[in-house]
């Protein structure tokens, strides 16, 4: 709209037949707002004139134009400092100076920080004729999403850790990593880096605000346990050893063995399974299981008397053998096995050794028969020459019963009896043999007989009973 008005028909009527009519305002002239006096003068040819006046009143009823800039949305963790752009204003007659006013519904200055939520700004403008108009603009401050990545942390090698926090309904998550290679859309993904890795999460809330945060995960150097062990040498023994070496980790190490030991290396072990847990200064640990074995069975030695002692004074032969333990790979399976000759009577013990140096004793007892003996108990000589009244009584002992007797004597005499009687005079020999063919010989026994009588004048004559003696 224009701020002026065009005058059209006037309010003066024309009665002049000849002459002119003129006005102080031309036809079609623009009139300003307000009241303007317009005068028409009629002048005839004779110079006579007449005036007619009226007021032209122009009113400004048009409001100024005002256009607020768009509503503002801000994302912030605190009250936001927002740059406010004033609305565009215009008016057909002009804007009253300094009349554009913006007022917040919280009565704070336009330049003051804006709180969370929506603040309404009402803009008002006044034109030079006091016509007003207004528009409304909103400033909405939304909180930034938490974007929780978590605290920097150290994890043990080959373990995992969960990043972030529980998901917020409506939020979208995007994880990346440096070094690159990891992406995830989860709120709290699980990771297990092998090198120091920085993980960054960008969380975008449902109101469109985004925030990011990062966490660095440092893996502890890998703990590696090496072991060297010696198995138990002898069955049921306890000379096993385990020596370990640890690499990696951080700082010093603590050792915890399944048998209660806390030293790095352990010894004096019997067969079984041993587990060691090594823990470093970062409480990271590694575990190793070691099996200590032993021979399948105990080394056993046996002795077999192959040639026992049959006769007193002889020697025996013993065969020593073994089983179990750890045989040698080459040569005899065990050291000390085989025959043992000329073994004395009594208790014996022969040691054998296996490849691990284990020792077993083959024991036994060699029994020796007592000395085979024969003794003359008594003998009776022949009383009268030519008679057979001699007697020999003997007793055998020792050796191994039963005994056999072999007598020889005069005139091809032989007998297998123990004791002899009805013997004639002569020399008798006896050999006694026991069950083991051991023998002993009795010293020759002489059975004598009485000589023929020889009576002298001064002698004494002994005669056999029933004999007759004739003196001459």
Q: Give the separation between CA 369 and CA 396, rounded to whole angstroms.
A: 14
> pLDDT (tens digit, 9 = 90+) per residue, 421-434?
999 999 999 999 99
Shared domain for 12 and 40, answered yes or no, is: yes
| Percent residues over pLDDT 90 in the chain | 82
Q: Write down the pLDDT at residue 160.
A: 96
Asked if the structure places residue 258 within a domain, the reply is yes
CA separation for the pair 266, 238 (Å, rounded) = 12
Whether residues 136 and 70 share a domain: the answer is yes
Give residue 134's domain range: 65-143
Domain boundary among 366, 394, 413: 366
- Torsion, Cα 20 22 27 29, to 10 degrees, reads 160
DSSP state, residue 404: E
Q: How far apart are CA 270 and CA 361, in angstroms?
A: 22
**Is 318 exposed, middle or buried, given 0-12, 13-18 or 19+ CB atoms closer than 10 A?**
buried
**387 lies in some domain:** yes
Q: How far apart are CA 244 and CA 228, in angstroms?
A: 6
Q: Last residue of a domain, which of 247, 262, 292?
A: 292
pLDDT tens-digit series, residues 17-44: 556 776 777 777 787 877 888 888 888 8
Q: Look-up: residue for tokens 């063919």?
A: 437
Among 366, 390, 413, identify where a domain stops.
Answer: 366
Structure tokens at 430: 């006896």
- Looking at the fold, whether 358 and 393 belong to one and the same domain comes out as no
399 is a domain residue: yes
462 is a domain residue: no
With respect to residue 317, please indicate whether it lies within any of the assigned structural domains: yes
What length does the chain have? 472
Q: Categorize the per-residue pLDDT at 16 as very low, low, confident or very high, splitting at 50, 70 and 90.
A: very low
Q: Is residue 430 part of a domain?
A: yes
Whole-angstrom Cα distance, residue 197 to residue 260?
Answer: 38
Please give the backbone phi and psi of residue 63, each rounded to the nearest 5 degrees, phi first: -75, 150
Residue 126 domain-assigned (yes or no): yes
360 and 345: one domain? yes
Same domain as 439, residue 392: yes
Residues 6+ apart with CB under 8 A from 452: 385
- pLDDT per residue over 239-277, tens digit each? 999 999 999 999 999 999 999 999 999 999 999 999 999
Specify the pTM: 0.62
Query: How many domains are there within the chain?
Result: 6
CATH number for the domain harbouring residue 201: 2.60.40
For position 18, what pLDDT does the model report?
58
* Mean pLDDT of all residues belonging to the chain: 91
Is 452 domain-assigned? no
Quick one: 138 and 69 in the same domain? yes
């Amino acid at each position: 709209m224009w701020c002026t008005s065009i005058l059209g028909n006037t309010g003066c009527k024309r009665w002049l037949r000849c002459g002119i009519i003129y006005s102080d305002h031309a036809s079609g002239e623009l009139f300003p707002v307000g009241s303007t006096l317009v005068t028409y003068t009629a002048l005839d040819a004779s110079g006579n004139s007449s005036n007619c006046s009226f007021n032209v009143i122009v009113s400004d009823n048009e409001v100024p134009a005002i256009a607020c800039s768009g509503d503002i949305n801000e994302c912030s963790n605190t009250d936001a400092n927002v740059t406010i752009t004033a609305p565009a204003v215009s008016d057909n007659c002009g804007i009253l100076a300094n009349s554009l006013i913006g007022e917040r519904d919280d009565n704070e200055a336009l330049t003051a920080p804006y709180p969370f939520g929506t603040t309404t700004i009402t803009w008002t403008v006044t034109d030079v004729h006091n016509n007003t108009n207004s528009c409304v603009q909103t400033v909405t401050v939304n909180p930034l999403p938490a974007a929780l990545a978590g605290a920097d942390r150290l994890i043990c090698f080959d373990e995992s850790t969960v990043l972030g926090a529980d998901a917020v309904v409506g939020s979208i998550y995007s994880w990346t990593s440096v070094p690159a290679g990891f992406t995830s859309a989860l709120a709290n993904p699980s990771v297990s880096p092998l090198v120091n890795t920085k993980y960054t999460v960008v969380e975008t809330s449902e109101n469109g605000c985004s925030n990011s945060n990062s966490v660095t995960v440092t893996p502890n150097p890998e703990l590696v346990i090496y072991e060297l062990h010696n198995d138990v040498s002898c069955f049921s023994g306890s000379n096993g050893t385990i020596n370990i070496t640890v690499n990696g980790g951080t700082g010093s190490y603590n050792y915890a063995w399944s048998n209660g030991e806390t030293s790095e290396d352990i010894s004096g072990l019997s067969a079984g399974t041993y587990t060691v847990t090594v823990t470093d200064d970062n409480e990271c640990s590694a575990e190793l299981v070691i099996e200590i074995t032993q021979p399948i069975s105990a080394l056993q030695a046996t002795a077999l008397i192959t040639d026992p002692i049959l006769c007193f004074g002889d020697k025996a032969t013993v065969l020593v053998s073994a089983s179990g333990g750890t045989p040698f790979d080459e040569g005899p399976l065990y050291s000390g096995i085989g025959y043992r000759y000329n073994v004395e009577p009594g208790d014996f013990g022969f040691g054998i050794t296996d490849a691990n140096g284990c020792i077993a004793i083959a024991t036994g007892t060699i029994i020796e028969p007592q000395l085979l003996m024969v003794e003359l108990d008594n003998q009776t000589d022949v009383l009268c020459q030519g008679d057979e009244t001699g007697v020999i009584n003997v007793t055998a002992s020792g050796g191994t019963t039963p005994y056999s007797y072999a007598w020889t004597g005069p005139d091809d005499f032989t007998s297998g009896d123990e004791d002899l009687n009805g013997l004639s005079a002569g020399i008798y020999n006896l050999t006694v043999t026991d069950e083991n063919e051991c023998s002993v010989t009795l010293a020759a026994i002489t059975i004598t007989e009485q000589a023929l009588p020889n009576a002298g004048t001064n002698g004494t004559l002994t005669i056999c009973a029933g004999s007759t003696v004739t003196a001459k």
